């Protein structure tokens, strides 16, 4: 095994952590803004900056909107199926954490994988991908505009990283797993640093 600090994967995670730091900075700045009390009158909590309506298509071809998932907790991860490392790693953590829940807890949570690469992540591509991780995992894709709007609502950064030698491309992106409440409001987010135990423990306490 190579040193963790020299591996490309570690660098990707450092980049992701950088995005998280910037994101948290934005949240703190907005929260401390002088007019925030007035702003907050419009929302039921200071954390509702994350999340919102979306209309997408699931991995079976059914149109799905955010309202379809109200009434249960949602675990939402944004990614793309061609991702060589970060997405499979994060989804693997989710899979293992879900594996620690009992049947009643599992019934209260819906895991969702939303792509920001709909050009390659078709309904068929998602169908094969989600089955690798969990039988309950629902894959969601859509038009470029639809997936862009969903990612924006959840404050997810992503960008193509073009390569001259190939028509293939990788994508830089935020890697966060969001736990949303049954009413659709943001509850908490998890990164790879939380690990399986961090995610599983919180889910067991909450569900």
Do residues 76 and 114 make contact, with C-beta atoms less than 8 angstroms apart? yes
Q: How far is the CB of 28 from Ni ion (least distance, A)?
A: 26
Does position 79 interact with Ni ion (CB under 5 A)? The reply is: yes
Does position 94 interact with Ni ion (CB under 5 A)? The reply is: no
Q: How far is the CB of 132 from Ni ion (least distance, A)?
A: 14
Q: Which of 55, 39, 66, 73 is nearest to 188 (CA)?
A: 73
Does position 87 interact with Ni ion (CB under 5 A)? The reply is: yes
Cα four-point dihedral sign 45, 95, 23, 58: negative
Q: How far is the CB of 207 from Ni ion (least distance, A)?
A: 26
Q: Count of CB atoms within 10 A of residue 188's CB?
A: 15
Q: How far is the CB of 169 from Ni ion (least distance, A)?
A: 12
Q: Count of CB atoms within 10 A of residue 159's CB?
A: 11
d(CA 136, CA 31): 35
Q: Which is nearer to Ni ion, 73 or 140 (CB)?
A: 140
Q: Which of 19, 76, 83, 98 binds Ni ion (CB under 5 A)?
A: 83
Measured from each CB, the residue nearest to Ni ion is: 83
Q: Which of 19, 75, 76, 86 binds Ni ion (CB under 5 A)?
A: 86
Instruction: Annotate 147-167 with DSSP letters as a single string.
Output: HHHHHHHTT--EEEEE-TT-S
Does position 98 interact with Ni ion (CB under 5 A)? The reply is: no
Q: Which residues bind Ni ion (CB under 5 A)?
A: 79, 83, 86-87
């Amino acid at each position: 095994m190579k040193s963790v600090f020299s591996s490309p994967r570690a660098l990707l995670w450092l980049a992701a952590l950088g995005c998280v730091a910037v994101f948290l900075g934005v949240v703190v700045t907005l929260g401390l803004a002088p007019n925030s009390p007035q702003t907050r009158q419009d929302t039921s909590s200071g954390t509702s900056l994350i999340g919102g309506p979306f209309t997408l298509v699931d991995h079976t071809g059914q149109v799905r909107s955010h309202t379809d998932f109200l009434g249960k907790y949602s675990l939402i991860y944004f990614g793309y199926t061609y991702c060589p490392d970060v997405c499979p790693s994060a989804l693997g953590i989710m899979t293992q954490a879900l594996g620690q829940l009992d049947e009643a807890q599992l019934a209260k949570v819906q895991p969702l994988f939303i792509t920001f690469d709909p050009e390659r992540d078709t309904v068929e591509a998602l169908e094969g991908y989600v089955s690798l991780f969990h039988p309950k995992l629902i894959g969601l894709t859509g038009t470029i505009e639809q997936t862009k709007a969903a990612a924006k609502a959840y404050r997810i950064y992503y960008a193509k990283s073009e390569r001259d030698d190939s028509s293939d491309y990788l994508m830089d992106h935020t890697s966060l797993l969001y736990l949303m409440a049954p009413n659709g409001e943001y509850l908490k987010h998890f990164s790879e640093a939380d690990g399986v135990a961090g995610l599983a423990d919180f889910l067991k306490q909450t569900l």
